[in-house]
Structure 1
Amino acid sequence: MYIDVFFVMSGLFLIKGLMEKKKNPWVSVVSRYFRFIGSFSIIIFYVMFVSMYTGDGPLWQRFAGREQQKSEKSWLWAVLMLNNIIDSQFITPIVAWHIPCDYQLAVMGTLLYVLWTKNIRMAKFVTVLVSILSLIVPVFVTYWHQLPAMLLPDNIEKLFDFPTNEMFLKLYIKSYSRGVPYLIGMAMGYILVMYKPVNNRRILSKEWSIILLSAGYILVFKVPASASSWCHSNDVISPLLFVAFSKMMLSIAVCLIVGAVEYGSIDIIRRIASLHIITVLSRLTFGVFLTHALFIQQNTYSMRALMYHSVMTELTYASGVAVLSFTAAAFLWLFVEAPLNNIVNLVTSSRNNKVEEEIGDQEDKLIKNGKEKIIEGVQKRTTTINAYTKY
């Protein structure tokens, strides 16, 4: 469930960027695509041509070979940001569904933003309609296909191959199942733009800041923790209620935390979030998300004996995956993402400058024509007055 936190923040940053930077929204959509596709293409290439030769073991050929075959069948849809819709049973690596899902929601959010700038009345209707559908459709799909409310493996085979899980294919990876967190994130982004935290800092007292922050963190941990009791209930309604409202409650909890930090009187959290090291690590989160699954697969598929589990071994394993993922993400950022972002920004900024120059020329022309008409009108009026006076 915690993946929804990323969708909330993605919607928040989308609307915040569109409203503050005043860029052409479709240029932002194109820029977003190229920000994703660079590192994503490297991962696809690695799975297709390299990963098969990086390990060994009794399970390696079976599982690693299968990932390679999946990649060969789905790489085109992955590049087109459609692999969570078309041939989704061939998604690899397992986390690759998140990228097209986020991009599709970004396109939806951009369309809503453009509509709000063109026709507010129609925008209100469409936004309400999209919100209602985002709430109802996951419930309907869950009920119609009799899916579980959570993504759980039915057997040990599906623990290694989630794309064979019906719930994963029909609900978990679809963009309509993530619409509620994204829309709530957009709403929070709108609030942050309209009521800038810089101008409204400490508007909440310390008591209210603590209350909102505590409520947010309690919900963030309580909603996923209560999933088991809701999802394994004997009645039909409880799992459907969980599907309908769990994402909403988690998203609201995240927004409460953001609001308490931005508008509250608790400075320590804001100072920690503003640290330079946090900013640097946040740049690498996309690469970490992409690469961590590869390191987990590498370790799992090359096992030759049963794993021994203890607190120390789990900490060591998790720390190792984190370090390797951040290291790989740093290389992706330095040699793929940053250069590609700079090229895209250079192209789009030059295009924006041309458009702005054309608009400026048109405005100057209109002003010049307006001035000429005013002068012409004044001259005619003066001539008429002089003729009348002479008469």
Structure 2
Amino acid sequence: MEVLFIAFCLITLVNGYNYTSIIATGGDGDLLVPDILRIAEALEEATQGRCREDFRAYLEGFAKQERWAMNMFDSSVKFPQGILAGNSYQLGNFDQCLSDDFGQYCLIQISSNSFAKETQYKRMFSKNGSSVHWAICVPSSCSPEEIRVLFEDVFQRFFDESALAVTVPPSLCSKNQRKPITYLEIIYSSIICLFVTFVLGTTLYHVVHIRKKSKRSEYALDRSRKTDPLHKQILISFSLIRNASKILAVRSTNNELNLDCICGVRVISMVMILSGHCLIFRITSPIVNADFYENELGKPQNAIFLNNPLLVDTFLLLSGFLFCRLLLQELEKKKGGVNVFFLYIARYVRLTPAYCVVLGFYCTFLLRLGDGPLWQQKVGVEQERCLNSWWTNLLYLNNYLQTDQQCMFQSWYLSVDTQLFVFAPIVIYSLWKWTLLGPLLLALTLMVTAILPWLITFFRQLDPTLMIYLNEIQDLTNNHYFKTAYIKTEMRAISYVIGMVFGYAIYRLQGFRIPNYVIIFGNVIALLCGFASLFSIILFYSPAYEYNVWISAIYAPLHRLGWCFAMGWIVFVCVLDKAESFLGKFLSSKIFAPLSKLTYCAYLVNGIVEIYSAGSIRVPIYLSIFNLSVDVVGHVIITFAIAFVICLLFESPIHNLEKILIKRYTSEPKIINEDT
């Protein structure tokens, strides 16, 4: 009889019956008795030991209307809503379930053809469109397998549907338990605390240093900074006062190079990249109205977000442009006597400290930031990947090694850029050394980097670019195109090489005044190329489009070629005409100077913002243009705020220290690149 009573209570959990009214009225015996018998059998077969005893205690407590049991019952989903509209996540109440140590929150995945959603896009819901994630609150002693067996049997018996299947991923079960402090967390926090304490101490030292010299004239103070002993210069290089003033300064350090307009290009591109990241994580979160995304997918005005990867190619373009132009100038100044290996070491030292801080946070305290129904699936899995593959990040090879365990989804860019940085001096030196052979080698490199994406796309029958379909971008690391093509250097090298072409052109044409008709003609071509590259992606999202390997193979290199020509031409014109045009003046605005110094750190920390937001979500999101705009603005602001702290504490001091040591002990140039 006890089993029958428990089964009766379980029916109220699964079917959403009002338990109190059933008790009061006696219910419909013809309906309840067969159901109780079926579920009683399932309960006896699926559970055993501690799990069965706790289930009995839970349901008995519910029958007595005890508060803790009522909380568990109330936090579970009673009946799904909006499935046909695409609301496949029924999240219940996560915090209410875990308000007591007895409860365990699980998202069981129920798959059935009856849940399938009709769509005009064949790939939109190809995998998960027939599944519903149903929140249940069960005793914490029950294992995921016991929960799976129980509820699969319950649903199949109750709904009489043999095609229905239930899965319970361990990453979607959460318990209210404290996580022990690990040795890695102790080591990481100790290092960070010691470094922050040192920075605060050097800041105090800087304050005392300033007060001692406060009576001197400004000229004398500036001169004293240059004549200070080495140990004072090193200490002050870590000062928060100095680094904050350096970051917030609106005066460009590149006036002699006339590169102010690049600040605007970098900031605008980074803001759009961060916006794209936010939108990807938003649309792949639990949503109420999946129809919204389907309706917006084919609209031309959304092409900038669907083709967001092109904005990353803008940074590769700028990297190739800056490195080529500046290294050519140094080769000319030093008569070829530039130590390339020193440049490699300097770049590694410049980029890696801030990278290590963020990477270490992923491996340690990221999981402790919060919780939520999807926390373990989003954040826990990310931390596990970082613990397995962090060394590939520090070697800047994570776009080739352990790509199925990639840590920090956006970090592939640093590996691609670094690998191209290693390759570039060969071509750049030939440009300086040989007037004819150098440009021929550059042209050959451009041709090879254009042909490779065509060949790879054609023979592997790949998509023309990363397609933003909901199911396929739920986890980018597991996306086939992302890990086999998108993050590979050979697929992105064309952007870097085009940057080198423009860098070489500016080096050769420095001081030359371009005729107005050439600028006008170039502007028209660049405008057409840019718009064609950006908006042509809409063709591949058309419901009528059928995959064509030839079209995909041709599009793969051409859309990057067109986009990078457009962006390269903008930089080319701005630098040569000294930003005299309206666009040049806008891109050279002082407001972009401080933000441009934060773009590297913003790119590093944005993943934390997006993963935290996705993992801590409690209720499905209602998608609308206004809601998404609010999310994008908020995420961009938060990302840059965190980036300011990371840059202030870890990136800027290393740059200062590098300049001091290079100036004192070597004659090597400080090559400026896109990350400084």
After TM superposition, the score normalised by the length of structure 2 is: 0.49
1:242 aligns with 2:555: yes
AA partner of residue 226 (structure 1): S
Shift of 1:130: 2.8
Identity of aligned pairs, percent? 22
Task: Report what 1:204 is aligned to.
Answer: 515
1:253 aligns with 2:562: no
Partner secondary structure for residue 396 of structure 2: coil
AA partner of residue 557 (structure 2): A
Which runs of structure 2 are paired with 1:114-125 in the superposition (5 Å)? 114-117=429-432, 123=438
Partner secondary structure for residue 411 of structure 2: helix
Task: Report what 1:59 is aligned to.
Answer: 374
**1:336 counterpart (650, 653, 659):** 650
Task: Report what 1:132 is aligned to.
Answer: 447
AA partner of residue 271 (structure 1): K
Q: Which is worse superposed, 287-296 or 181-190? A: 287-296
Task: Report what 1:289 is aligned to.
Answer: 603
Alignment deviations for residues 16-57 of structure 1 (CA, whole Å, 9 cap, x no partner): 221234453332222222222122111111111011011211
Shift of 1:13: 0.7
Mapped partners of 2:481, 2:431: distance in 1: 35
Q: Which is worse superposed, 132-141 or 163-172? A: 132-141
Task: Report what 2:523 is aligned to.
Answer: 213
1:186 aligns with 2:479: no
Task: Report what 1:226 is aligned to.
Answer: 536
Task: Report what 2:347 is aligned to.
Answer: 32
Shift of 1:215: 3.8
Alignment deviations for residues 189-247 of structure 1 (CA, whole Å, 9 cap, x no partner): 11222222xx345x332x65455335434432331210232584543311111013111
1:167 aligns with 2:476: no
1:13 aligns with 2:329: no
Q: Is the 8 A contact 1:8 1:182 kept in 2?
A: yes
Mapped partners of 2:360, 2:611: distance in 1: 16
In the alignment, structure 1 segments of 5+ residues that lack a partner are 356-391
Shift of 1:109: 0.8
**1:49 counterpart (361, 364, 368):** 364
Q: Is the 8 A contact 2:321 2:500 kept in 1?
A: yes
- Report how many residues are paired: 350
Q: Is the 8 A contact 1:136 1:244 kept in 2?
A: yes
1:317 aligns with 2:631: yes
Mapped partners of 1:130, 1:60: distance in 2: 45
Structure showing greater relative contact order (alpha-carbon pairs closer than 8 Å, 6 or more residues apart) = 1
After TM superposition, the score normalised by the length of structure 1 is: 0.82
Shift of 1:71: 0.3
Task: Report what 2:402 is aligned to.
Answer: 87
Q: Is the 8 A contact 1:227 1:242 kept in 2?
A: no
Mapped partners of 1:213, 1:305: distance in 2: 48
With over 3 angstroms needed to count, the CA separation of the structure-2 counterparts of 1:123 and 1:217, relative to structure 1, is closer
Task: Report what 2:590 is aligned to.
Answer: 276
Shift of 1:305: 1.2
Partner secondary structure for residue 139 of structure 1: helix
**2:427 counterpart (112, 118, 141):** 112
With over 3 angstroms needed to count, the CA separation of the structure-2 counterparts of 1:237 and 1:318, relative to structure 1, is same
Mapped partners of 2:345, 2:470: distance in 1: 41
Structure whose alpha-carbon radius of gyration is higher: 2
Which runs of structure 2 are paired with 1:64-79 in the superposition (5 Å)? 64-79=379-394
Task: Report what 2:312 is aligned to.
Answer: 3
Mapped partners of 1:119, 1:233: distance in 2: 48
Task: Report what 1:262 is aligned to.
Answer: 575
**1:102 counterpart (417, 421, 439):** 417
Larger helix proportion of the pair: 1
Task: Report what 1:348 is aligned to.
Answer: 662
Mapped partners of 1:329, 1:217: distance in 2: 33
With over 3 angstroms needed to count, the CA separation of the structure-2 counterparts of 1:41 and 1:296, relative to structure 1, is same
AA partner of residue 82 (structure 1): L
With over 3 angstroms needed to count, the CA separation of the structure-2 counterparts of 1:143 and 1:26, relative to structure 1, is same
